[in-house]
Amino acid sequence: MLAIIGGTGMAQLECLEISHQKVVTTPYGEPSGPLTFGKIRNNTVVFLARHGYGHTIPPHEVNYRANLWALQSVNLTRVIAVASVGGIRADLAPGTVVIPDQIIDYTYGRKYTYYDGKDRSVTYIDFTEPYCPLTRKRLLEAAGRAGEKVLDGGVYGATQGPRLETAAEVNRLERDGVDMVGMTGMPEAALAKELGLCYATLAVVANYAAGRKSSAHLIRLDEAHGVLEKTMVRVRNILEWVVTLDAD
C-alpha cells in the first residue's frame, strides 16, 4: 500500500475516493491528523496532511516521529512526500517538479530519531542515500507515463522555518551545493529510513528562493500559492500513475 504525505498546497488529495479515516495513537504523541484511507484508480492509498487538515502546524512543530510511526503501523510498502520548495538552481523556476536525490539538514531542536531513550541502544543508520532509489525510480516512471516533465535529482536543503531565508542564507546554501530549499525534508526522511520505509519526495518549486531571479525580487506568497495550486494538478496526475504502476 502507498502512503502520501501532503505538504503546503496539498491538504487533501482530490483524486482520492475516501472510504474512512483512522485515528492512530503512537508512543511519540499525536500525528498531524487522522490517516485518510481511500482508493485511487481502485487501489488503496493512505493520505496524511503534514501540516494538519487546516494547515495549522508550522514546519518546526510537525510531529514527524508520530507521523511516520502512524504510517508504518498500517503495513505500507512505500511513502511519497509532497513538499513545496524555493528554487535556487537556475533551472528550478516556479512550477518545476523535482525528485531530489540528496539532502542537507540545517534544522535544529527537532526530534530526529527513534533511538534516543535510555532504554534503547545507540543505533546508526546509513544515510548515504536519503531517498529510496526504487521509489525515486517509480516516480520517474510514473511521470513519464503521465506525460509530466520532472527533473531527476537535486539537493534539498532543509531549513528551520517558519520564516523564509535571507538572500545571504540562500547564497550560503548555494555554496554548500543546495539546489532547492524547504522546511520539512528533515527529520522526515531520516525517520522513514530508521523505520525501513521506502521514502521519496516530490518537490514542487513554488517560488524562487530569496535573492534569486533578481537581487531586488521579493517573494510574493500569494503568487507562490497560485503556482502550487496549478502545479498540484500535475502532481496528482503523477501520483495516480504511481498507484497504477504499483498495482501492476
**Is 231 labelled a binding residue?**
no
**Is 207 labelled a binding residue?**
yes
- Residue 129 burial (CB < 10 Å; 0-12/13-18/19+)? exposed
- Residue 50 burial (CB < 10 Å; 0-12/13-18/19+)? buried
**Is 123 labelled a binding residue?**
no
Neighbours of 10 (CB within 10 A): 26
**Is 131 labelled a binding residue?**
no
* Angstrom distance (rounded) from CA 215 to CA 99: 27
DSSP string, 198-233: EEEEEEEEEEEPTT-S-TTPPP-HHHHHHHHHHHHH
Is the distance from CB of 186 to CB of 65 less than 8 angstroms? no
**Is 8 labelled a binding residue?**
yes
Is the distance from CB of 65 to CB of 114 less than 8 angstroms? yes
Q: Which residues contact 213 (CB under 8 A, 6 or more apart)?
A: none
**Exposure string for 178-187, b = 16+ CB within 10 A, e = fewer:** bbbbbbbbbb
Closest CA to 105 of 183, 50, 164: 183
Q: Which residues contact 93 (CB under 8 A, 6 or more apart)?
A: 87, 205, 208
**Is 50 labelled a binding residue?**
yes
**Is 96 labelled a binding residue?**
no
**Is 93 labelled a binding residue?**
no
Binding residues: 8, 50-51, 183-184, 207-209
Binding site members for phosphate = 8, 50-51, 184
Q: Residues annotated in the binding site for substrate, as ranges? A: 183, 207-209
